[in-house]
Amino acid sequence: MSDRFWFDCYQHCSFTQARAGTFHTPHGSVDTPRFMPVGTLANVKTLTPDQLQATGAQMVLANTYHLHLQPGEQIVKQAGGLHPFMHWPGPLLTDSGGFQVFSLSEMCAIAEAGVSFRSPRDGQIIHLSPETAIAIQNALGADVIMAFDECPPYPASRETVARATERTTRWLARCVQAHQRRDQALFGIVQGGTFADLRQASAQALVEFDLPGYAIGGVSVGEPPELIEKIVQVTTPLLPPHKPRYLMGVGTYREMVQAIAAGIDLFDCVIPTRLARHGNALVQGERWNLKNNRFRADFTPLDPTCPCYTCQHFTRAYVSHLLRSRELLAYTLLSIHNITELIGFTQRIRAAIICDRFPQEFAQWLAPPPQSLGKAKTLL
């Protein structure tokens, strides 16, 4: 890791692999374990940067694929990079766009040279390779950039997953060669689907590159939660203990607790803002639909223990009214609360690790889930 990026890991749980640390970047530090809000198009939906900072956010994500399509990386570069463009003073991370290419494009042709896909905006054929993905991210200027990888779908045959995993390693070598900026940390992404031996082989191959950090990708793409947990448990111990470990696309309570227990440090997910746009609030491990009749005359805060702006100033009845009236403020207030809730959840885990009480205080999430839980509950 360069002198601009380093990871201090100063507390380990006595009973699990959980750890508390700090990841240092040129734009500030990130206390781990930590949830990171997703700002796909250089903004976290419905929030201003000041509102976002007030949630406790430290590191924010943006997406290479979407920013390449609109406004284009050269526009962002002319603005001085993502930080001044979106007026975010803290650390930023850009995903390589690999997942979006494979999951969102109507037409996607994969070859060793890269990927060709049809733009969902104007139908134009676009070519994305490891070299162009890195060049785009170099122009965007985030603190952490991700290697271009091939994310296989779920379910997929072992042959398909093995081919994608091997190509991800070859593409990483090209990403490393193409990377031009010392003020950006390049993270590799472990693939391998749900096959333990492929995950292990991928992790071992990527560690040889001695990168500033490593991510586990290709999870939360449709597989059941118990498989995600197994993937993380198999993969995490193979990643360097002195570097940050990032589980991509995961932001539910149980999955984060389970992953932290395995040694994961960073998470991201669109869940808090997506749920907000559907009128849902995350409240102490549960998901509430504020459109329900029981909230119409409920004049208590969403969560009386929550420090967020929404809970300090508004009632459940008011937010329910806004949702029923389709007022845009509802989505802002719920997004503020939901992001604060997930960041606060990881902050409470961090405090428990430092006090060496993580398993005791989060036992309900570490225990096997009851078989009777339905789909709505397993989301959390």
Q: Would you please indicate which residues are annotated as catalytic (active-site) residues? A: 95, 268
What lies within 8 Å, CB to CB, of 374 at 6+ separation is: none
Q: Residue 251 is which amino acid?
A: G
Q: Encoding tokens for residue 309? A: 């702006």
Q: 168 — alpha (psi -120 to 50), left (phi > 0) or beta?
A: alpha
Torsion of CA 333, 335, 340, 342, to 10 degrees: 150
What lies within 8 Å, CB to CB, of 24 at 6+ separation is: 5, 6, 7, 8
Q: CA 242, CA 28: separation in Å to the nearest integer? A: 19
Q: CA 56, CA 36: separation in Å to the nearest integer? A: 10
What single-letter DSSP state applies at residue 292? S
Q: How many Å separate Cα 70 from the centre of its chain?
A: 21
What lies within 8 Å, CB to CB, of 317 at 6+ separation is: 295, 296, 297, 298, 299
Q: CA 226, CA 232: separation in Å to the nearest integer? A: 10
Q: Residue 220 is which amino acid?
A: S
Q: Encoding tokens for residue 60? A: 């924010």
Closest CA to 323 of 344, 341, 302, 296: 296
- Strands of 238-305 (E only): list them: 245-247, 266-269, 280-283, 286-289
End-to-end CA distance of the chain: 34
Contact 373, 366 (CB under 8 A): no
